[in-house]
Structure 1
Amino acid sequence: MDPAEGLIDHPYAVYDRLRDTAPVHRVAGTDGNPAWLVTRYEDVREALANPLLSMDKKHALPGGYQGLSLPPALDANLLNMEAPDHTRIRRLVVRAFTSRRIEQLRTPVRETADRLLDAFGPHGSADLMTAYAAPLPITVICDLLGIPGEHRRDFRAWTDVLVAPDPTRPGAAKEAVAAMLGFLTQLLADKRKKPADDLLSDLIAVRDEGDRLTEDELMSLAFLILFAGYENTVQLIGNAILGLLTHPDQLAALRANPERFPNAVEEFARHEGPALLAIRRFPVEDVTIGAVTVPAGETVLLSLAAANRDPARFPDPERLDLGRDASGHLALGRGIHYCVGAPLARLETEIAVSALLERLPDLALDTDPAELRWRPSLRARGLLALPVTY
């Protein structure tokens, strides 16, 4: 039996057991092939910034990793790169996600949240994932990139297929990738003909010290910003709301002390972050992690979720505690691959939760928490639905 069996339904119980028995385990990876799973905070933290652990698939053993297959036009993204290409491309993107520029989005994001909440009416019931947590980030990221509204529902459907593949539809992921490629190809062609005041138009026109992005790099960058900028924030917002509804003392404390919201977002990310695992790594040479030697080229999975609930780093880790110092959590990564969109994810989560609590003061979960269903994914930790009354 795989030592990580049961991760989808009971991830934290499995991670607790694995962390207690050994720091590194041989498991079936997200692609079904053997991988090394790292669970302890200090090991994960160190590994995230270890230059011997590369995200570039060229360092994988032949046939040893069979993850999602993307065409070259979508595969040349930051999640598959190391320096110097990673440095060059990240430098172009990070300008759009500085804390100062993101803070300028505070009013537009709040306006988006209010428009969504206006549709709720004074009382009733709703699925917050469908009606609120999902449409808010997709609206924000598409506005930032300059993607027309009529295409946003399609993109959301494609993303859902890639994050949580349906085993009964083996060709669905390939179809979604092809559709996304066609969509982005046409979108970039339209932006070239008619540039606008948006991030995609800027990326098309930009030069990095005289070097233009290749067409594949540009396409892959657009894909990554859309995919990561939407998906992770959806889950972070939904998980944050669930955390508050299942910890009424923390909900009451936050209502009484709204100035705690910035720190609360860090605790939301630590307690129930959107990613169970960091993007897979491949050792460029034999590397020792937690006294275990992992051979070069084999797949390494770093459990962000297990690290963030390691009692050696965060006492009473199962409890959502908005008063704790959650700094140092690894939900958004560490090192040169730290999430470039982190400032935007933080802002959206803060505004989404604060607007919700302000507008719906009697918000309550409309089901037993044990009945909630999570997405069948080893990568993303998110709810299929979040039914509430208000």
Structure 2
Amino acid sequence: MSTAPQTQSTGCPYHAAVMPTDGTPFRPSPRFAAWRAEAPATRLTADDGNVGWFVTGYDLARQVLEDTRFSMTHQRHPVGHHVFSDHVMPDSDLVHAFMAGNVLSLDPPQHTRIRRTVVGRFSVRSVRGRLPALRAFIERRLDEIVAAGSTADLFWDFGVPVSVFAHCRVLGIPEHRSGEFADIFAAEELRPGEMVEFARAMLELKRDDLGEDTISDILRSELTDAERLGITAVLMGSGRDAIAFMIPTTTVSLLTNPEQLEVLRRDPSLIRPAVEEFVRFHAMFVSAHPRTVAEDVTLQGIDFRAGESVWVSTVAPNRDGDRFADPDTFDVTRDAYGHIAFGHGIHGCIGQQLARVVIAEAITQLLDRLPSLRLVDAEQLEPLPFAGPLPTYSPGRVHVAW
């Protein structure tokens, strides 16, 4: 049970909850709804003993994500260790270089200056210009899957290759290095040192071969070498996993909700707007990147004290019944705009337009090519360990047949 209202502002650790691990992308932990019914934020004890606030209410989540008094610096995660902390990447030079351009842990004006360098390649117009190449790749990948037999793992055989292709195209990673990129960034075990070293290698490779891509834009910019390395590593390590997760996870919901599947089969044009419901219902981030309260602030009756950690869930607010009617129902005709699956505010996901296009195209072609598609089993239908130190749902294996 969450902290009683009269004790919420005290920060008393003896009344703090712990992060529940009994949820799935289809049925989040019921504790989130129970906490939200009492207050829009709950005291939570992290794995390292740090006590902060876990935000579950939709309106409060948007307020916190918009408010620069909640700083992205000095992050402390609710579970495990930060992937680029000294604990897991002991080379201090690599840590410094990464953090110099890590827009996920910077505040304005540094954040604004660095982010401005890369957003152009992720605009709606730019991403849609990549659609013909993306469409052709998905067609080829489905040809290969069908040729290999009558079963597949939709995560490793489809979601991961599609996400890798899209990421490499937008970033500017040459095709002959895409396998190495996948080996490092799509691995089940994070290897942060190798991730930063690969980013360094790609910057060197592209330095004398600039093109119309993100890494080239970074090299053309006035960023420092450390900032260039940091933002390149961040972009390589962010977003691709969410696309790879969302494609098979959405397919599981469609195959286990045949009436919703039939709606999309009858009118495939609904798939593109339905992506908003796909990502709302299956929000991946149980907690977004941590914030630290920069100065005392009170929002919706919650007293946030300077120095406290704040963890904004994207899963729980997207299931807030005050914002979304019947929020635990998967409805592909729902107007789900306004969800925070991609975050919100100045730190909203840079690649969200790319994600929308890739997910829509992958689901469209999958349903068209495999009309007899059926679910064999999916590990994610039962609770799995979080996918990393930032608490996110794991895709697991999704076995299908046709």
- TM bucket normalised to smaller: 0.7 to 0.9
Structure 2 unmatched ranges of 5 or more: 1-14, 86-94
- Which of 58, 61, 84 aligns to 2:109? It is 84
For the pair 1:101 / 2:126, whether they are aligned, the reply is yes
How far apart in 2 are the matches of 1:295 and 1:131? 47
For the pair 1:343 / 2:353, whether they are aligned, the reply is yes
- Work out whether residues 184 and 223 of structure 1, in 8 Å CA contact, stay in contact via their aligned partners in 2: yes
> SS of the counterpart of 1:387?
strand
How far apart in 2 are the matches of 1:350 and 1:379? 25
How far apart in 2 are the matches of 1:368 and 1:186? 37
Q: How many residues align?
A: 369
Map Cα deviations across residues 218-248 of structure 1 (whole Å, 9 max, x no partner).
Answer: 1111111111131121122222212211211
Cα shift at 1:9: 4.0
Q: TM-score, normalised by structure 1?
A: 0.87
- Work out whether residues 24 and 290 of structure 1, in 8 Å CA contact, stay in contact via their aligned partners in 2: no
194-203 vs 125-134, which moves further: 194-203
65-74 vs 326-335, which moves further: 65-74
For the pair 1:75 / 2:99, whether they are aligned, the reply is yes
Q: How well do the aligned residues superpose, as a CA RMSD in angstroms?
A: 2.4
235-244 vs 195-204, which moves further: 195-204
How far apart in 1 are the matches of 2:180 and 2:52? 33
- Work out whether residues 141 and 226 of structure 1, in 8 Å CA contact, stay in contact via their aligned partners in 2: yes
Q: In the alignment, which residue of structure 2 is the partner of 1:184?
A: 199
Cα shift at 1:146: 2.3
Q: TM-score, normalised by structure 2?
A: 0.85
For the pair 1:200 / 2:215, whether they are aligned, the reply is yes
Cα shift at 1:335: 1.3
- Work out whether residues 373 and 385 of structure 1, in 8 Å CA contact, stay in contact via their aligned partners in 2: no
User: Identity, % of aligned pairs?
Assistant: 32
- Work out whether residues 15 and 306 of structure 1, in 8 Å CA contact, stay in contact via their aligned partners in 2: yes
Matches within 5 A, 1:257-296: 257-296=267-306
Q: In the alignment, which residue of structure 1 is the partner of 2:20?
A: 6
Q: In the alignment, which residue of structure 2 is the partner of 1:387?
A: 399
- Counterpart amino acid of 1:42? D
Cα shift at 1:385: 0.8
Cα shift at 1:157: 4.6
Q: Are residues 27 and 237 of structure 1, via their aligned partners in 2, closer, same or farther at CA, if it must alter by over 3 Å?
A: same
Structure 1 unmatched ranges of 5 or more: 166-172, 207-211
How far apart in 1 are the matches of 2:380 and 2:245? 18
How far apart in 1 are the matches of 2:107 and 2:249? 31
Q: In the alignment, which residue of structure 1 is the partner of 2:156?
A: 130
> SS of the counterpart of 1:388?
strand
Matches within 5 A, 1:1-390: 3-7=17-21, 9=23, 11-29=28-46, 33-57=50-74, 67-70=82-85, 71-76=95-100, 77-121=102-146, 124-159=150-185, 173=190, 176-206=191-221, 212-367=222-377, 374-377=384-387, 379-390=391-402
- Work out whether residues 24 and 38 of structure 1, in 8 Å CA contact, stay in contact via their aligned partners in 2: yes
Q: Are residues 194 and 259 of structure 1, via their aligned partners in 2, closer, same or farther at CA, if it must alter by over 3 Å?
A: closer
